[in-house]
Each structure stands twice: as C-alpha cells, then as structure tokens.
Structure 1
Amino acid sequence: MASRRAGPKQLTRRVAVLRPRKTLLVFCEGLRTEPEYLHALRRQPSVREVAAVDIRIDQHCAGHTPLGLVRKAIVARQRDGGEIDEFWCVFDVEWPTPHPGLREALKLAADHDIHIALTNPCFELWLALHFDDCTAWLDNDGARRLRRRYDGQPGKSLDATLYMPRRGAAAARAAELDRRHAKNGTAPPDDNPSSGMHRLIASVEPVD
C-alpha cells in the first residue's frame, strides 16, 4: 500500500495589530507633580507600545488658573491641523479657597470639546487614591498629609515606581467617588473628594 505523503504545512504568520496612534495634548496647572506623573504614565508599555499614545504636555502654561488653561487649550485646538486627537486640562478645585472662574472654565471646556481631569481638592487626593479609599472631605493640607502618609515624599517630587502599578486601583476608586457624587447630586466645587484623572487614564489605557 502506497504511503501518503503529507502535503506542505500551511504556515500562518501572526501579525500584531496595534490600535491607531492617538495623540493627547495635556495642559497642566501644576508645575511639577502632575507633569512628572504624566511623563511616567506615557513611559508605561501599555501606553507607549500597545495603545501607541503620545501624550504631549504643554508645561509653558503651568501655574495658570483653570480658566486660563482652558482658553489656551481652545486656542491650540483651533490652530491644530488634525494632528491632535484629544485636548485635556488637568487642574484642581483648591480648598479652602476654590479657584475663581471654576464653573466658567468647566462650561467653556464643555462648549469647545476640551476634556477636563479635575481633582477636588487637589492632585494629592488622586495620588492618595493609589493606596486606599478616600471618602472624607479634605482641604489641600489634608490631602497633602494623606499623600505623605502613603509615599513618604516631603515635597512635590514623585516616585513613579510607587504609583504606576497602582493606577488601575486609583482609577477604580475615583470612578466610585464619581458614582457617589452623581447619586447625591453633588457637582464641582462641592464634589469633595473626587478626581477626574480616571477618565484620562481610560482614554490612554482603554479596558479591552
């Protein structure tokens, strides 16, 4: 009986499929902590390689009020030739004295398709959420003390190795705070504590 010879094997080449490149331009109120966090975020493999996201941080506007940041983002959007996919402003409410023009800044952003990552009272609350739930009202000093309790950093410097592995947990806690405020009908500047940073995280690291 003649033996059958197996035909040539069909070799299937697996081709990696990447998400389309997505570019964010982020305007930060903070001079150091927020830019350091965002620089660390964009260095993460899931952002740099998988999602192929290029976060550009405009540090020239650091120290501006929320209204000033939003206006700069609007100008940048109007001048953009289609290179930037999303424009973001990262700023705080600030307690005990909230930023003037905060509500105007939020409305202006909504009218011009500018995304906002607003933290109440300040960015240190977002950092604290990387370690534990934070549901009690805080002023700026309280949020900073809470952050120092978790990371031991005395100033504005940031040890990204402590935060990047915990960013998913922080995003989940921030999203839960949003749901609580929505249920209670509280909105800025009365949604203390809260942070919209989880929406920026979701934009660059969408859950599959």
Structure 2
Amino acid sequence: MGRKSQTPKPLRRRVAVRAPRKTLLVFCVGERTEPDYLAALRSQREIRDVASVDIQIEMATTGSAPLTLVRAAVAAKAKAAREQAEIDEVWCLFDVEWPRNHPHLNEAITLAAQNDIRLAVSNPCFEIWLALHFADHGAWVDNGGARQLRRKHDGQLDKGLNGSLYMPHRHAAAARAARLDERHRRDGTAFPDNNPSSGMHLLLASVERNGR
C-alpha cells in the first residue's frame, strides 16, 4: 500500500502584533523644564511605539496654577469626549511649592478626582523629581534647596534641561520616589506635608506600562 501524498501546507508569514498605542494628554505649567522632560521621555525608542504623549502647556495665573490647570484639563477632557477623540488618560503636573504652598491645592485635587484627571504632584517642586534621578533624598526641602540639589547633578542654572542626562536614570528615580511615598504612608505624613515627594513615577509607569 503506497503512502498518501501530502499537500504541503502553505507557508504563512507570522505577523507581529503590536500593543495598541495609548494616548495621554498631559497638562503642565512649566515654561521649559517640565515640557523638556516630557519631550525627552516621549522621544525614547521604547516609548514611541507604546504611548502617544500630547503635551499641552497651560499658562496659569500666578497663585492659582494647580486649580487653573485642573480646570483646563477637565474642559479638554469634556471636549475630547464630545468629539469622540481617543484619549486614554488626562494628566496634570504641578508643584506644591515651599516655603509658601500654592493656594487651592486641595480644591484642585478634589476636582481632579471627581473628573478622573490623574495627578503627578511634586513636593516641593519638579526639581526634586529631577534630583531623584541621581540620588536618594529624604529630608524636607524648600524650592531653593530642591533646585540646588538638581543643579549639583546637572549644572543647569536656568530653566530647561538636557533630557539625555535624565532618561537613563528615570527608572532609578521612579524607584526612589515610590520609596518616599511608602515612607510617608508608613509615617502617616499626609499631603501637603509629604515633603519630599513626587508623583512623576506614576506618570512614568503609565507611559511605560505596555512596553515593559
């Protein structure tokens, strides 16, 4: 009895399945430093194919920046919903500020929670997040002290930053910021007294989650 001839199966090319891109709408008040950092983050090869980060800078009036920023984010989210735009998350980045806190901080946080606006709050200011890229820091610090810490590592005197200095250390910064959050929870240190801290590690996790 002869062997049955078998029809060769057609060779099929395997098609790589890419994770769907995530679109984040990010509001911040900084003129250069925060946007420069976000632009550097967005340009990373491992992030470009994972998330689309739309950076919008809200030039808020002095003294009401966080609340003004959150209101702008709420309005943008409502507009996106009306226009059926594909935005997965809306974020606001702002500072607490020391020695004198921004007014209306609690109102800003409450409004954000009511509208599912995610927050990355740095205490006292964004420079503490930058300093955490290079070293742990656990002591209370004001704005000037945070800027000195940042300057010690990158030598930057003015606004703005060289993102290539920071991107290789962003995961170390996230780990340090997460440990600070855990320490504040353990010690019962409530906002806005959770100085130093930065919620930027939460934004970073959201941006990179699909790609790691």
**TM-score (normalizing by structure 1):** 0.91
Q: Per-residue deviation at 1:14?
A: 3.5
Q: Report the counterpart of residue 59 of structure 2 in structure 1.
A: 62
SS where residue 205 of structure 1 aligns? helix
Q: Say if 2:46 is the partner of 1:46.
A: yes
Amino acid aligned to 1:44 = Q
Q: CA RMSD in A?
A: 1.8
The match for 1:125 among 123, 128, 134 is 128
Deviation, structure 1 residue 126: 0.2
> Cα deviations across residues 118-154 of structure 1 (Å, max 9, x unaligned)?
0000000000000010111000000000000011111
Task: Report the equivalent of 2:3.
Answer: none
2:188 to 185, 190, 196: 185
Q: CA deviation at 1:16?
A: 2.1
Q: TM-score, normalised by structure 2?
A: 0.89
2:87 is aligned with 1:84: yes
Once residues 192 and 11 of structure 1 are traced to their aligned partners in structure 2, the CA distance between those partners, rounded to angstroms, is 61
Distance 1:106 1:35 in 2: 21
Structure 2 spans left out of the alignment, 5+ residues: 1-6
- Which position in structure 1 is the counterpart of 2:28? 28
TM-superposed deviation, 1:8: 6.0
Match of 1:74 in 2: 74
Tell me if the contact between 2:33 and 2:160 (Cα under 8 Å) persists in the aligned partners: yes
**What is the correspondence of 1:108-119 to structure 2 with a 5 Å cutoff?**
108-119=111-122
For 2:139 and 2:189, the matched residues in 1 are separated by: 14
How much has 1:9 moved relative to structure 2?
8.5
Report sequence identity in percent: 60
Q: Relative to 1, partners in 2 of residues 1:181 and 1:12: Cα closer, same or farther, differing over 3 Å?
A: farther
1:157: how far off? Answer: 2.1
Distance between the aligned counterparts of 1:46 and 1:23, measured in 2? 15
Indicate the residue corresponding to 1:106 in structure 2: 109
